[in-house]
Amino acid sequence: MDAPDLKAPDYYINRELSFLEFNDRVLALAFDESVPLLERLKFLCISSSNLDEFFEIRVAGLKHLEELGSAQLAPDALSIPEQLDAIHKRAVQLVSEQYRCLNEVLLPALRTAGIYLLGKADWTSETRQWLEQYFKLEVEPVLSPLGLDPARPFPRIQNKSLNFIVRLAGKDAFGRNSELAIVQAPRSLPRVVPIPPSNGQRPLVLLTSIVQSFVPKLFPGIEVLGCYQFRVTRNSDLFVDEEEIDDLRRALEGELAHRRYGEAVRLEISRDCPDDMSAFLLRQFSLADVDLYRMPGPVNLNRLSAIYDLVQRPDLKYPVFTPGLPPELANTGGRDLFADIRQDDVLLHHPYQSFAPVMDFVRYAATDPQVLAIKQTLYRTGADSPMVDALVAAAQAGKDVTVIIELRARFDEEANIELSNRLQEAGAHVMYGVVGFKTHAKITLIVRRETDGIRRYCHLGTGNYHPRTARAYTDYGLFTCDKEIGEDVHELFLQLTSLTQSPQLQRLLQSPFVLHRAMIEKVDREAEHARAGRPARIIAKMNALVDPQAIEALYRASRAGVKVDLVIRGICGLRPGIPGVSENIAVRSIVGRFLEHSRVFYFENDGEPELYCASADWMERNFYRRVEIAFPIKMPSHRARILEDLAVYLSDNIQAWQLGADGLYRRASPGDAPAVCAQEKLLASYAAGSGFSL
Examine residue 150 and say whether the peptide bond preceding it is cis (omega within 30 degrees of 0).
no
Please tell me whether residues 171 and 287 are part of one structural domain: yes
Domain check: are 167 and 228 in the same one?
yes
Structural domain containing residue 548? 510-689
pLDDT per residue over 677-688, tens digit each? 999 999 998 876
Whether residues 273 and 393 fall in one domain: no
Quick check: is 321 in a domain? Answer: no
Shared-domain flag, residues 531 and 498:
no
Q: Are residues 303 and 430 in the same domain?
A: no
Q: How confident is the model at residue 424 (pLDDT cuts 50, 70, 90)?
A: confident
- Tell whether 2 is covered by a domain: no
CATH number of 102's domain: 3.30.1840.10
The verdict on 385 and 499 lying in the same domain is yes
Average pLDDT rounded to a whole number, residues 516-520: 98
Domain count, the chain: 3
Residue 126 has pLDDT above 50, yes or no: yes
Predicted TM-score of the model (pTM) = 0.92
Domain boundary (506, 530, 558) is at 506
Q: Is the pLDDT of residue 248 over 60?
A: no
pLDDT of residue 177: 67
Predicted pLDDT at 688: 60
Q: What percent of the chain has pLDDT over 90?
A: 78
Domain boundary among 316, 343, 377: 316
Q: pLDDT at position 240, please?
A: 47
Q: Specify whether 75 is located in the same domain as 41.
A: yes
Same domain, 471 and 416: yes
Confidence label for 257 from pLDDT (cuts 50, 70 and 90): low
Whether 584 contacts 558, CB under 8 Å: yes
The chain-wide mean pLDDT, for the chain, equals 91
Interval 635-687: pLDDT, tens: 999 999 999 999 999 999 999 999 999 999 999 999 999 999 999 999 998 87
CA distances for 264 relative to 159, 180, 259, 642, angstroms? 8, 21, 11, 45
Confidence at residue 241, expressed as pLDDT on a 0 to 100 scale: 46
342 and 476 part of one domain: yes
Domain at 480, CATH number: 3.30.870.10
Backbone angles phi, psi at 207, to 5 degrees: -55, -35
Residue 363 lies in a domain: yes
Which pLDDT belongs to residue 690?
A: 46
- Long-range pairs of 67-74 with CB within 8 A, sequence gap ≥ 24: 74/12, 74/14, 74/15, 74/16
Mean pLDDT of 126-155: 90
For residues 366-387, average pLDDT:
89
End-of-domain residue from the set 506, 528, 545 = 506
pLDDT digits (tens, 9 = 90+) for 304-315: 999 999 999 999
Q: How many CA atoms lie within 13 A of 26 on its CB side?
A: 26
> Does 523 lie in the same domain as 498?
no
Q: What is the pLDDT of residues 17-70, one digit of tens each?
A: 999 999 999 999 999 999 999 999 999 999 999 999 999 999 999 999 999 899
Which stretch of DSSP H or E encloses residue 425?
helix 413-426
pLDDT band at 258 (very low <50, low <70, confident <90, very high): low
Question: Cis peptide before 512, with omega less than 30 degrees from 0?
Answer: yes
Residue 255, pLDDT > 70, answer no
Question: pLDDT higher for 651 or 438?
Answer: 651
Q: Tell me the CA distances in angstroms from 332 to 73, 222, 325, 357, 595, one per residue in order.
A: 57, 73, 10, 12, 30
Q: Residue 283 has what pLDDT?
A: 95
Q: Is pLDDT larger for residue 658 or for residue 336? A: 658
**Residue 498 included in any domain:** yes
Q: Which residues are catalytic?
A: 440
Q: Are residues 281 and 309 in the same domain?
A: yes
Residues 206, 336, single domain; the answer is no
